[in-house]
Amino acid sequence: MNNNVIFLDNASTSKMSEKSAEIFNNYACNNYFNPSAIYSYGAKVHDDIKNAKINIAKHLGTQFNQNLIFCGSATECNNLAIMGCYRKNFGKMIFSVGEHPAVYNTAMHLKSIGANVDFVNLQTNGEIDYDDLKNKLTPDTSFISIMHVSNETGMINDLKKISDIKNHICPKAIFHSDGVQAFGKTKVNVEYFGVDLYTISAHKINGPKGVGALYVKDIKLLNPIIFGGGQEYNLRSGTENVAGIMAFSNAVDEIGDIRANQQHINMLKNEFLNSLSVKEVKINSYGLPHILSLSFDGVNGETLVHMMEQHNILISRGSACSSKKSGNRILENMGLSPSQILGSVRISFSKYNTLSEAKVAGKTLSECYKQLLKTLYNK
Ligand code: PLP
């Protein structure tokens, strides 16, 4: 990998920090014991996992009490939250149109097997439409899954407001939120939000890939979707990814001061936008500054992504999972035209990016766009 690359696709994944990598290595190569083993080395590793849970729970605004389940990814956590709550004769299930495929496609699967599934629309700013939510919730609603921060636009949904609405209309409904793009970027307090389940992922916060954690208010809400040796309170069988979990816990410690990080990232975003001397660009993001969605008039965003790569700058089309598909359900639901969707790109910053990287990237994107216009239209 070229160290001169300017990486502005941090919403898709992020670089593991050196200390997390050291910890990962230590548990992979030295402390490699199975946490279920009955000898002391195994018991010690088992305790280390428990301490990682205590640490992560604190950052989620709660105390650890058998309420954190480690999985192989946030995708798996979302599947466990949804499929693990689903029961025969379940009432209505509500999702938002803006969900990541890990939630959206699980909802579509349930719909295809006959579950009563409905989707809440987005406002033009990308936030969910709270009036539509009120209209779609009914007293027999059993489950709601609405993400905290959009991976496409960075828009924040007001989880407290959603749980207040839910408690008014269907107090018994279970409320899950996918917090993958929120955790580490904005303050999370699962108790204040009133969520029953909340998903996070290690590799979005400079931790390792292949580890997710699901907060669950009460483990009795869940049935397992994977069967085996009974690890994780019998809810996620399979030997724990100890190295990944311990590196995840360290990555959580390294998040630092969220407000200071946000200020830095806001400066990066402004520097980038100031360096972008293009009139024909539409900003599609109004939420957290680390995700910036832009639409360039008259061109294909995919071409811009490839042109930027020629300059060693990595940006994306949108979520890594949907970037190879031509449409974009989220931008479409926000009311963007087909040409605005075609011309969309996503720039996502990390606290480790510098102002000079943001400046170079903004200038280069302008040049690529102008060059593309010239090639296509001789403008
Ligand atoms: N949910 C959101 C909002 C995401 O952005 C992502 C990753 O892009 C995921 C879920 C999936 O996370 P993982 O790669 O850990 O499965």
d(CA 77, ligand 1 centre) in Å: 10
**Mean pLDDT for the stretch of residues 362-370:** 97
For residue 280, report the distance from its CA to the centre of ligand 1, in Å.
31
pLDDT at 59: 98
Overall size of the chain counted in residues = 379
pTM, two decimals, is 0.97
295 lines ligand 1 (CB under 6 A): no
What is the pLDDT at residue 107? 98
Residue 323 has pLDDT above 60, yes or no: no
Name the band, by pLDDT with cuts 50, 70 and 90, for residue 226.
very high
Helix (H) or strand (E) holding 293: strand 291-296
Is residue 78 within 8 A of residue 199, CB to CB? The reply is yes
**CB atoms < 10 A from the CB of 257, how many?**
10
pLDDT tens digits, 343-357: 999 999 999 999 999
Q: Which two tokens stand for residue 185?
A: 């970027």
Mean pLDDT of 220-238: 98
Query: Of all atoms in ligand 1, which is nearest to the CA of residue 147?
Result: 3
Residue 73 beta carbon below 6 angstroms from any ligand 1 atom:
yes
Residue 245 predicted with pLDDT over 50: yes
Residue 283 has pLDDT above 80, yes or no: yes
Q: Residue 279: its pLDDT value, please?
A: 87
For residue 100, the CA-to-ligand 1 centroid distance in Å is 7
Q: Find how far residue 197's CA is from the centre of its chain.
A: 14
Please report, as a single letter, which amino acid is at residue 95.
F
Cβ–ligand 1 contact at 208 (below 6 Å) = no
Query: Which residue CA neighbors atom 12 of ligand 1 most closely?
Result: 74
Q: What percent of the chain has pLDDT over 70?
A: 97
- The candidate with the shortest Cα–Cα distance to 269, out of 4, 10, 21, 50, is 10
| Active-site choice (71, 77, 85, 321) | 321
Long-range contact list for 220-227, CB < 8 A, 24+ apart?
221/84, 221/85, 221/174, 221/196, 221/197, 222/80, 222/81, 222/84, 222/85, 223/84, 223/85, 223/87, 224/80, 224/84, 225/79, 225/80, 225/83, 225/84
Q: How far apart are CA 351 and CA 205, in angstroms?
A: 10
Within 156-257, residue ranges assigned H as helices are 159-169, 190-193, 242-253
| Distance of CA 202 from the midpoint of ligand 1 (Å) | 10
For 166-186, what is each residue's pLDDT tens digit?
999 999 999 999 999 999 999
42 CA to centre of ligand 1 in angstroms: 31
Cβ of residue 212 lying under 6 Å from some atom of ligand 1:
yes
Atom of ligand 1 nearest to the CA of 76: 16
Question: Does pLDDT of 373 surpass 90?
Answer: yes
Judged against a pLDDT cut of 60, whether residue 136 lies above it is answered with yes
* Model pLDDT for residues 284-302, shown as the tens digit of each residue: 999 999 999 999 999 999 9
Nearest Cα to 270, choosing from 252, 255, 283? 283
Residue-level pLDDT at 321 = 47
Cα of 17 to ligand 1 centre, how many Å? 19
79 lines ligand 1 (CB under 6 A): no
Find tokens 């987005």 and name the residue. 122
Structure confidence by residue, pLDDT tens digits, 117-127? 999 999 999 99
Ligand 1 neighbourhood includes 147 CB (under 6 angstroms): yes
> What is the structure's pLDDT at 1?
56
213 lines ligand 1 (CB under 6 A): no
pLDDT at 327: 77
100 Cβ closer than 6 Å to some ligand 1 atom = yes
Element (H, E) at 297: none
Which stretch of 25-29, 317-321, 353-357 has the lowest confidence by average pLDDT? 317-321
Choose one of 104, 181, 206, 346 to mutate for the ligand 1 pocket test, by most ligand atoms within 8 angstroms of C-beta: 181
Q: Is 29 a catalytic residue?
A: no
Distance CA 199, CA 124 (A): 25
68-104 pLDDT, tens per residue?
A: 999 999 999 999 999 999 999 999 999 999 999 999 9
The three-class DSSP label of residue 235 is coil
Average pLDDT, the chain: 96
Contact yes or no for 321/106 (Cβ under 8 A): no
